[in-house]
Amino acid sequence: MILLFFGPPGAGKGTQAGRIEKKYGLVQLSTGDMLRDHKKRGTDLGQKAASFMDNGKLVPDDVLVAMIKDRIQQDDCKGGFILDGFPRTQAQAEALDAMLSQGGLGIDAVIVLTVDENALVDRITGRYSCADCGAGYHEHFSPPKAEGICDQCGGHTFTRRADDTEEKVRTRLQEYHDKTAPLLPFYQGKGLIQTVDGMGPIEEVAVAIDTILAPFNVQGAKQGRAV
Ligand code: AMP
C-alpha cells in the first residue's frame, strides 16, 4: 500500500505515520527527517537544503524528487510505504506519479489531517524530543511523567527543532498554503482524499485513520510488492 499524509506543519503527520509504520509494517518516509539527517551529516544534499530549511522555506523540487526516487527503490519499500511530507508542490506530485507508474504502482489513499491553525503555533513551539531515543513531548500537552527524564529511555537530554520557532512556523504555514494546499484538488480529482480531524487526542485520530485503512487490508512488508 502507498499512503500519503497531508496537512500543515504540526497537524500530526509524523506521529500518525510513525504509528502506522509500527502497526502495519509500512515504511515511514519523512522527507523532513531525511533532510535533517543529511544536514546533520553535512552531505552535499544537506548543505543545499540547509538555508531553505533554516528559513522555513521549501527545499527545491529537484533535490526532493531525486531523494525520494532513490529511497523508494530500496528493498524495505517493497511492501509499501507512507509518504510523510512529500509531495509538497505540484512538480513533486507529478514526479511522484511518473515514478510510481513506471513501476506499475499508484497511490492508494491520501489522508488529510485538518487542524485549527490558531492552535498550530502553540502545538509546534511547545514540542521537543528526547535527544537519545527521539520520543516526542510537549511542554503543556504531554510532558514526561517525571520532569526532565524521558519516559521511554530514561535520558536527560532533550532537543527542539531549529525551525519550530513562531516566526519560522508562520513561514512554513505560508509555504503550505501557497504551494502544498493547492495539491488537494489534484488528489480529490483522483478520488483519493480521506479527511480526518487532527485536533483530537492522538488515540482518537489514530482510530479514525485505522477505520479508513480497514478496507485496504494492509499487510505491509508481507505484501512484498515491487516498486
Ligand atoms: P517537516 O519535518 O516535514 O516539517 O519538514 C521540515 C523542512 O524540510 C521543511 O520546512 C522544508 O524546508 C523541508 N522539506 C521537507 N519536505 C519537503 C518537501 N517535500 N519539499 C520541500 N521541502 C521539504
Residue 195 clears pLDDT 70, i.e. is over it:
yes
Residue 68 clears pLDDT 50, i.e. is over it:
yes
Catalytic residue check, 22: no
Tell me the residue ranges of DSSP E strands in the chain: 2-6, 27-30, 81-84, 109-114, 127-130, 136-138, 158-159, 193-197
Whether residue 88 contacts residue 30, with contact meaning beta carbons closer than 8 Å, is answered with no
Please tell me the residue having the least CA distance from ligand 1 atom 1. Answer: 32
C-alpha cell at 136: 516526542
Among residues 88, 123, 168, 179, the one annotated as catalytic is 88
Res 220: pLDDT: 66
Mean pLDDT, the chain, as a whole number? Answer: 93
pLDDT for 75-108, tens place per residue? Answer: 999 989 999 999 999 999 999 999 999 989 999 9
Res 219: pLDDT: 74
Whether residue 164 contacts residue 124, with contact meaning beta carbons closer than 8 Å, is answered with yes
CA 208 to chain CA mean position, Å: 17
- Name the residue among 151, 153, 117 with its Cα closest to residue 137: 151
Ligand 1: list residues with CB < 6 Å.
Answer: 9, 31-32, 35, 52-53, 56-59, 64, 85-86, 88, 92, 163, 172
